[in-house]
């Protein structure tokens, strides 16, 4: 497996490289210290299996680069690695197509398990508290207020288990592809359904999850899976 790290802090890159080797034998890790370097690396070799992207780069906005990578390499999973763990940033990254969001304060074990979840086709987001102390960290922009309200309305932290949702086999198939970020047209093509039928299944899945958008569905399912798998928390991987 080939992994590309994009971060402009040498110590962070070194720490990440060391931890990612723990994914198993045959893992090769390359590093890019800027947006331009990452573009050139992928231009020369687009056969990477996973990208880890810092949101704060010296020559590029991480969100802009995320959008660019998702547009140019739609099959390449991107996991955001960020010093921020704001709910607004998490939701924005997932909404733009990131397959995971790992705060730099995460532990070695959490990072490895998050990457394994992404590699296996899942999505990872960090546990998110919706309490007042966390909400005080939000900016006062209209976007942040909207995200904050959606997070409260969705009540991600009290969702039932996946087994309790009562989805039909076809709705489960649709959810699986929805979690991969596929639009309705691609889901319809892969499952041999009409786009209208897929829309009906997506609506049923959102109702079962108690959410109102695809992004909220991704986050809700990720939170469920984390509770079921019981992520561990011990020694920190990031440079201090």
DSSP string, 170-192: HHHHHHHHHHTT--HHHHHHHHT
The CATH fold assigned to 2-119 is: Rossmann fold (3.40.50)
How far, in Å, CA of 108 to CA of 54, rounded?
Answer: 17
Number of Cβ within a 10 Å radius of residue 121: 12
- In 3D space, the residue among 26, 33, 38 whose CA is nearest the CA of residue 7 turns out to be 33
What pLDDT is stored for residue 64 in this prediction?
94
Spatial strand order of the sheet with 28-32 comes to 28-32, 2-6, 50-54, 78-82, 100-103
What pLDDT is stored for residue 237 in this prediction?
47
CATH class of 157-229: mainly alpha
What pLDDT is stored for residue 220 in this prediction?
80
How far, in Å, CA of 15 to CA of 55, rounded?
Answer: 17
What pLDDT is stored for residue 162 in this prediction?
62
**Domain locations in the chain as residue ranges:** 2-119, 157-229
- Averaged pLDDT, groups of 10, the chain, 240 residues long: 92 88 86 93 94 90 93 91 86 89 89 87 70 35 43 45 78 86 88 94 89 82 66 41
What pLDDT is stored for residue 170 in this prediction?
92
Structure tokens at 171: 């709705």
Which pairs count as long-range contacts for 194-198, CB under 8 Å and 24+ apart, including other chains?
198/174
């Amino acid at each position: 497996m080939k992994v590309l790290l994009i971060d402009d802090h040498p110590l962070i890159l070194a720490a990440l490289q060391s931890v990612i080797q723990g994914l198993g034998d045959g893992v090769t890790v390359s590093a890019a210290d800027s947006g331009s370097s990452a573009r050139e690396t992928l231009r020369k070799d687009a056969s990477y299996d996973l990208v880890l992207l810092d949101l704060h780069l010296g020559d590029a906005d991480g969100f802009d680069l995320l959008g660019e990578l998702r547009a140019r390499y739609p099959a390449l999973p991107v996991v955001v690695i960020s010093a921020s763990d704001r709910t607004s940033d998490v939701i924005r990254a997932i909404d733009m197509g990131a397959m995971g969001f790992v705060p730099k304060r995460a532990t070695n074990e959490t990072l490895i398990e998050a990457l394994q979840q992404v590699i296996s086709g899942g999505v990872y987001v960090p546990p998110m508290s919706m309490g007042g102390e966390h909400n005080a960290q939000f900016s006062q922009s209209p976007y942040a207020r909207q995200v904050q309200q959606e997070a409260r309305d969705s009540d991600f932290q009290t969702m039932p288990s996946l087994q309790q949702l009562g989805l039909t086999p076809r709705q489960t198939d649709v959810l699986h592809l929805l979690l991969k970020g596929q639009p309705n047209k691609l889901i319809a093509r892969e499952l041999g359904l009409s786009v209208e039928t897929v829309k009906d299944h997506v609506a049923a899945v959102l109702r079962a999850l108690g959410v109102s958008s695809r992004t909220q569905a991704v986050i809700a399912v990720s939170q469920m899976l984390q509770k079921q798998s019981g992520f561990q928390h011990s020694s920190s991987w990031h440079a201090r």
